[in-house]
Structure 1
Amino acid sequence: MANDGEFKRDQNYITTRITADGRDGYPVEPGRYRLVIARACPWANRAAIVRRLLGLEDVLSMGICGPVHDERSWTFDLDPGGKDPVLGIERLQEAFFKRDPEYPRGITVPAIVDIPTGQVVTNDFAQITIDMSLEWTAHHRDGAPELYPERLRDEIDDVASKVFKDVNNGVYQCGFATSQEAYDEAYRRLWDRLDWLSDRLAGRRYLVGDTITEADVRLFTTLVRFDAVYHGHFKCNRHKLSEMPVLWAYTRDLFQTPGFGDTIHFPQIKEHYYVVHKTVNPTGIVPAGPDESGWLTPHGREELGGRPFGDGTPPRPPIEAERVPGPGEGASTAKPAH
């Protein structure tokens, strides 16, 4: 937290990469690595979506932490015995300390762990999804979409940078500001950018090009959490997402696209934010709303054209161990991945 009350995100991550040629010492190998996420976390949600869209479930297993953590780290409390069934650890912290016993920074998701050594390879969330697209191509499913096409990368990077600064991170800068001035500035930038995005998406179905790209994945994970947590909990309350016609329709369109909404667990999202952030919500009370039924209503975005997967096809349904309850199915805990 800066002296002026502005929230400053620590963006120093373990940047080792898993690549096709193994140049960082970690070659792409089916079954060697485990992606660790939490359903609650928007940054981890990106990796879960991209893994689904590209069909990497059979080559990159996924561990799922519970929605609540303490100052030490995320825990595997959803799994039998409170241990990840593949890594055999109770806390993600253990994988970070195997890599560096003096690891000084936050224990974050998503993280990819090398199963043979039990060491974390990387928690660089922005690079993880790009590498899934570019380095794991030999293991993509038939019909996998091109989420980071070379011809559009400059535009995707430009849009994604704006979205990160003002929206993905902007909601946190609103919620964790400790001065009125810092909050007001973050609030202004957030809504200026959301208005810009609304204008951009008014006449086009997706952010860049006519198919889903990395840019859409990055925006979706913030917008899908907006009414449930950011509007009230983080004081981002000019409008609800459901009161912004273009962005509400856009987000519903993606939510109803295989690979997006089937990664979203609203009860865990709410539990994380309202329970963990004691400085923002000291009572720890988790709100009952909002009503989730609207997520499945018609969005009308097909009229704008575009093809979600380009020349590809939708991903298969989630494997049973990774299925989440859909809107209206209740607050049951997601089944752990094995």
Structure 2
Amino acid sequence: MSEITLNYASPVDLDAYGRYRPGGRPGLRYPFQGRITDDGTGEFPAEPGRYHLYVAAVCPYAQRAAIVRSLKGLQDVVSLSYVDDDRDGRGWAFRERRGADPVNGFATLRQAYEATEPGFDGHVSVPVLWDRRAGLIVSNNFPDITLDLGARFGGDPEVDLYPEELRPDIDALNARIYEYANTAAGRVASATTEAGYHEARRPVIAFLEELDARLAGRRFLFGSAITESDVRLWPTLLRFDLSDNPAARISERPLTAFPNLWAYARDLYQHPAFRGNTDFSALSVPDGETDPWRIPVEPSHADWNQPHRRAAL
């Protein structure tokens, strides 16, 4: 195997490259949707050392993939590296802060997309699951990546994030988590009228209240074990008080005012797989002016190490 030349992109330069835009490629926003198989068949069979995961510390969807990799104990099976926290019009890039690309020596992640589809002009997203052997992207479809990491590579047999008997219920809850948690801040923030703003934020608050009640009598969303739903919800909770709520002005109540939900969030954070894949320095605090009719919300730095007292549930 030839030695990889490690390259770094030049510093972020908004004057030269502008702000990031997803490009004009028609079709799916996440077009690479290969799936890993665990029976030795298909284009992408599960093989130790064959696949690499590109992630960003700032991206909640990428953080989910890194967490699943750790929960399943796949650190020696699927390698991982980080792109830089900041981007300009070139998209995600490799810089000294997070390290070089150890697999291909790319300076920008767009090079991985262009290696897979020459002339690619679409959304350069993370996470990306890369096939070292074929030299192309397996998937940039973030929901599939966590499911395949959780079920196709073996790993810790005691960790089943997607139990067969719970899959319909997990899928149904995941759809609501995506609608009312993962994508909620962007939808509330984009409201252009006071009426539209309140219409957008009310169901989000109702969902937080529903989750708080659900977690009163169970440790995790489906009982005593962590599932895919917990992994999908948690990065949004992590960002709620520090960035999402202050930016979008969703709720007068911070996460810390939902007692069961806040204790649950701390419980997950204090698990090594969640804590070990969290970098608070990458989570941005919003600033600047906002619409006068939005409720006032200030960023809140909570104590995530406070005892959760949920182990007995």
Q: TM-score range by the shorter chain?
A: 0.7 to 0.9
Instruction: Provide the TM-score with structure 2 as the length reference.
Output: 0.82
Q: Which residue of 2 aligns with 1:183?
A: 197
User: Residues 163-182 of structure 1: matches in 2 within 5 Å?
Assistant: 163-182=177-196
CA deviation vs aligned residue, 1:159-218 (integer Å, no higher than 9, x gap): 111111111111221223344444333211211111111111111111113211111111
After alignment, is 124-133 or 46-55 more displaced? 124-133
CA deviation vs aligned residue, 1:268-289 (integer Å, no higher than 9, x gap): 122xx759xx998xxxxxxx96
Task: Classify the secondary structure of the residue corresponding to 2:58.
Answer: coil
Task: Classify the secondary structure of the residue corresponding to 2:53.
Answer: strand
Q: Does residue 298 of structure 1 match 2:307?
A: yes
Q: Which residue of 1 aligns with 2:70?
A: 52
Q: Does residue 202 of structure 1 match 2:220?
A: no
In structure 2, what is the Cα distance between the partners aligned to 1:87 and 1:182?
46
Q: Which residue of 1 aligns with 2:175?
A: 161
- Structure 1 portions without partners, runs of 5+: 1-9, 281-287, 305-338
- Structure 2 portions without partners, runs of 5+: 1-27, 291-297
The alpha-carbon distance between structure 1 residues 59 and 246, as it changes in their structure 2 partners (threshold 3 A), is same
Among 116, 121, 143, the alignment partner of 1:126 is 143
Over aligned residues, Cα RMSD in angstroms?
A: 2.4
CA deviation vs aligned residue, 1:95-148 (integer Å, no higher than 9, x gap): 0111112323211111111224442221111011111122212xx14x541111
2:83–2:95 Cα contact (<8 Å) kept = yes
In structure 1, what is the Cα distance between the partners aligned to 2:93 and 2:40?
30
Q: Which residue of 1 aligns with 2:90?
A: 72
The alpha-carbon distance between structure 1 residues 208 and 89, as it changes in their structure 2 partners (threshold 3 A), is same
1:76–1:91 Cα contact (<8 Å) kept = yes
The alpha-carbon distance between structure 1 residues 156 and 69, as it changes in their structure 2 partners (threshold 3 A), is same
1:49–1:260 Cα contact (<8 Å) kept = yes
Tell me the amino acid that sits aligned with residue 219 of structure 1.
Answer: L
In structure 1, what is the Cα distance between the partners aligned to 2:271 and 2:109?
31
1:16–1:24 Cα contact (<8 Å) kept = no
Q: CA deviation at 1:23?
A: 5.0
Q: Does residue 222 of structure 1 match 2:236?
A: yes
Task: Classify the secondary structure of the residue corresponding to 1:121.
Answer: strand
Q: CA deviation at 1:37?
A: 0.5
Q: Which residue of 2 aligns with 1:135?
A: 152
CA deviation vs aligned residue, 1:219-269 (integer Å, no higher than 9, x gap): 111001111101102222321111221111110011111211221111112
Q: How many residues align?
A: 279
Q: Does residue 114 of structure 1 match 2:131?
A: yes
Tell me the amino acid that sits aligned with residue 236 of structure 1.
Answer: I
In structure 2, what is the Cα distance between the partners aligned to 1:40 and 1:231?
16
In structure 2, what is the Cα distance between the partners aligned to 1:83 and 1:201?
41
Tell me the amino acid that sits aligned with residue 100 of structure 1.
Answer: E
Instruction: Provide the TM-score with structure 1 as the length reference.
Output: 0.76
2:39–2:45 Cα contact (<8 Å) kept = yes
1:172–1:234 Cα contact (<8 Å) kept = yes
Task: Classify the secondary structure of the residue corresponding to 1:263.
Answer: coil
The alpha-carbon distance between structure 1 residues 70 and 29, as it changes in their structure 2 partners (threshold 3 A), is same
Among 243, 263, 266, the alignment partner of 1:252 is 266
2:243–2:299 Cα contact (<8 Å) kept = no
Q: Does residue 268 of structure 1 match 2:273?
A: no
In structure 1, what is the Cα distance between the partners aligned to 2:69 and 2:46?
14
Tell me the amino acid that sits aligned with residue 18 of structure 1.
Answer: I
Among 37, 40, 47, the alignment partner of 1:29 is 47
